[in-house]
Amino acid sequence: MALSGVRVLELAGLAPAPLCGMILADFGAQVVRVDRTPRSAVATDVQGRGKRSLALDLKRPPGAAVLRRLCCQADVLIEPFRHGVLSKLGRKDENPYAPVNLLADFAGGGVLCAMGIVTALYERTKSGKGQIIDASMVEGVAYLSSFLWKSQNLGLWNRPRGENLLDSGAPFYETYKTSDGKFMAVGAIEPQFYEQLIKGLGLDSDKLPSQLSFSDWPKMKEKFASIFAQKTQAEWCSIFDGTDACVTPVLAFDEVASHQHNKQRSSFIKNDQEEISPRPAPLLSRTPAVPSFKRDPFIGEHTEEILLEYGFTKQEIAKLYSDKVIEFSEPKANL
């Protein structure tokens, strides 16, 4: 397969990293999942297809030394300790949402097509041969949904729509309106994060139902909603900033680029026309992407330049133009 011989180390984590490791394994890479100790812990990676597992205590110096030694012989290290986001599938008693075309067009189509191209380019360095990449958006988004398909037996999706853990059923995985008409996003699934959420809301966990008491979820959602409605978004940000409560503001488009996190990461760029767009990702340490800051080209703006670059003579270009095979477009000044 295309990635045959590629060695991958995947530090065990949540949804996005396991999917990435599974994709690489599916294309032939030798993927080793570095699991946490103790070995008796139940494996939660439902996307472990084609992987092997190594249990290692990375909190101890000898364990970290082992990982460093493994890295010396590996081609890829997947470090997963950043949270991922799953698309909501629809709320209770509402029609299912038509998902934004980010899901199929861009993720299932564009991103996986790019991955296929890079995979094929890498394989070409070994075989010297090209190949056709068949990138179907339907199959791509199905592949992206591997976590949903493969986690059905874990009990994550066995309740009616809008009543499950990740589809707005849980009070700790939801969005809540603030007193100024804005919203806060809550994703405190893990018990330690949930405890920080409860603390920030001014509640006592000893006086509340169990976090996973499904029958109490509707009542808890009402309680959380009433509390969030008592303060502004900025006030809630000041309460939860710097905590592990997994509570963040829901930002409008014109607020995203100026958010402190994105400013520190330089996550957004401006072109010559002051148009804001996201910086290319992921960020490579040695050969990062260098996006153009120029405006988008006019149709035909570089026709002659390109044809000359590819070896056409001026006479040939003139003939193509007179035959209306090509067009030129001179950029006009904005007066």
Crossing angle (nearest 10°) for helices 137-144 and 112-127: 100
Q: Is the predicted pLDDT of residue 92 greater than 80, yes or no?
A: no
Q: Which pLDDT band holds residue 117 (cuts at 50, 70, 90)?
A: confident
Mean pLDDT of 94-122: 79
Q: Is the predicted pLDDT of residue 89 greater than 50, yes or no?
A: no
Q: Tell me the three state secondary structure of residue 104.
A: helix
Give tens-digit pLDDT for 248-267.
Answer: 999 998 899 999 999 999 99
Q: Of 54, 52, 53, 50, which Cα lies nearest the Cα of 25?
A: 50
Mean pLDDT of 144-171: 86
Q: Which long-range contacts (CB under 8 A, 24 or more apart) does 107-111 make?
A: 107/140, 107/141, 107/144, 108/137, 108/138, 108/139, 108/140, 108/141, 108/142, 108/143, 108/144, 109/135, 109/136, 109/137, 109/140, 109/141, 111/140
Residues taking part in catalysis: 105
Q: Which long-range contacts (CB under 8 A, 24 or more apart) does 53-60 make?
A: 58/11, 58/34
Q: Which pLDDT band holds residue 94 (cuts at 50, 70, 90)?
A: low
**Domain residue limits, the chain:** 7-78, 102-154, 173-250, 297-335
Q: 173-250: same fold as 7-78?
A: no
Q: Which CATH architecture has domain 173-250?
A: 2-Layer Sandwich (3.30)
Q: Which pLDDT band holds residue 91 (cuts at 50, 70, 90)?
A: low
> Dmax of the chain from CA atoms?
85
State the pLDDT at residue 40: 44
Beta bridge partners of 31: 8, 51
The first and second tokens of residue 171, run together, are 């009070």
Q: Which pLDDT band holds residue 83 (cuts at 50, 70, 90)?
A: very low
Domain boundaries 7-78, corresponding CATH code: 3.40.50.10540
Q: Is the predicted pLDDT of residue 158 greater than 70, yes or no?
A: yes
Distance CA 96, CA 98 (A): 7
The answer to which of 94-108, 190-204, 285-299 has the lowest mean pLDDT is: 94-108
Place of tokens 């909501």: 88
